Amino acid sequence: MEITLCPEELTSGRMSRPHLDQAVEAIRTDGYVILENVVSYAHLDLLCEKMDADLQTLMTASVLPINFVKGHLQQDPPPFAPYVFRDVVANPFVVQVTRELLGDGLFNSFYSGNTNCPGSGTQPVHVDLGQLWRGLKVAHPAMSLVVNVAPMDVTEHNGSIELWPRSHLDTNVALDDATIKVDERLVEARRQFAPPVRGNVKKGSMLIRDMRLWHRGMPNHSDRPRQMIAMIHHIHWFRRGKPIKFNRGCEAAFENSDLDANVEFTDEPIDYIFRNRPYDYHEAAVL
Ligand SMILES: O=C(O)CCC(=O)C(=O)O
Ligand SMILES: [Fe+2]
């Protein structure tokens, strides 16, 4: 579901209790929610321009960081000023929702993105993380939430993400499975009673989804790339990798938030363009 924030909420930087309850309930039930109107167009325009330019650089890589199928690239946003914005990296409305679900001490582990290029293929249905325990009768509560923001309107035309409502509660897919891809038989069975939807979003919206939600990247039929920044908020006890590196000069974006941004500031250049690797991509595969 989409929740459109109203002027009072935008001015105060706080979502009303009814909106917060709706958002939390949507994630618990459907596995995702869209918050509309929460990111500045000016910020998104700057990010889009820079990420378009960075993509040109990325395309010169000897090995492209392709996720599953052609055209779906892992592309990190620029981790330095003036491209790091509070309404993206520590959006107060998003953090209100993720804190309500994950509790105090929630932290971010990720600042990257999916760039869906014109002519891209269809990814296999997958989770970003399965259930923590195998063989559960009932799914456990949310412990990790993906936060996505695209710098433009996204529809079927430019390759909006496919989402499988309520699939985060499916206990067949576990964290220790050999693959994050969902078995084709499970996918076809689920399609009969809970078919997928498209995560279409207006510019300025953020999508919050349970990390267990089945999803996939779809073809981009437009003539320009669709970027989508991704962050992951975790419950405080979840395994914590290395802090995320940002260059000094953008500290203010992370301050005074309930989210532990888990960042390390450095003056060293950060190789954010070329550091990603292909994921489950087999050039010779016959599909
Ligand atoms: O770009 C998208 O719409 C989704 C991509 C995705 O899920 C992935 O690459 O893991
Ligand atoms: Fe994914």
pLDDT tens-digit series, residues 160-193: 999 999 999 999 999 887 889 999 999 999 999 9
When divided into structural domains, the chain yields a total of 1
* Structural domain contains residue 120: yes
Looking at residue 50, which CATH number applies to its domain? 2.60.120.620
Q: Kindly give the distance from the C-alpha atom of residue 18 to the centroid of ligand 1, in angstroms, as a whole number.
A: 31
Question: What's the pLDDT tens digit per position in 81-130?
Answer: 999 999 999 999 999 999 999 999 999 999 999 999 999 999 999 999 99
The answer to whether the predicted template modeling score (pTM) of the entire model surpasses 0.95 is yes
Span 191-230, pLDDT tens digits: 999 999 999 999 999 999 999 999 999 999 999 999 999 9
- The answer to whether residue 272 sits within a structural domain is no
23 assigned to some structural domain: yes
- The per-residue DSSP string of the chain comes to -EEEPPHHHHHHT---HHHHHHHHHHHHHTSEEEEES-S-HHHHHHHHHHHHHHHHHHTT-SS--BBSSTTEEE-PPP-STTS--HHHHT-HHHHHHHHHHH-TT-EE---EEEEE-BT---PPPB-SS-BSSTT-SSPPPP-EEEEEE-SS-B-TTTTPPEE-TTGGG-TT-BTTSS-SBPPHHHHHHHHHHS--EE--B-TT-EEEEETTS-EE---B-SSS-B--EEEEEE-TTS---SPEEEETT-GGGGSS-SSB--EEEESS---TTT----BS--TT---
CA of 161 to the centre of ligand 2 (A): 9
Domain presence at residue 163: yes
Structural domain including 128 reads 2-266
Q: Which residues line ligand 1 (CB under 6 A)?
A: 67, 72, 114, 116, 123, 161, 215-217, 228
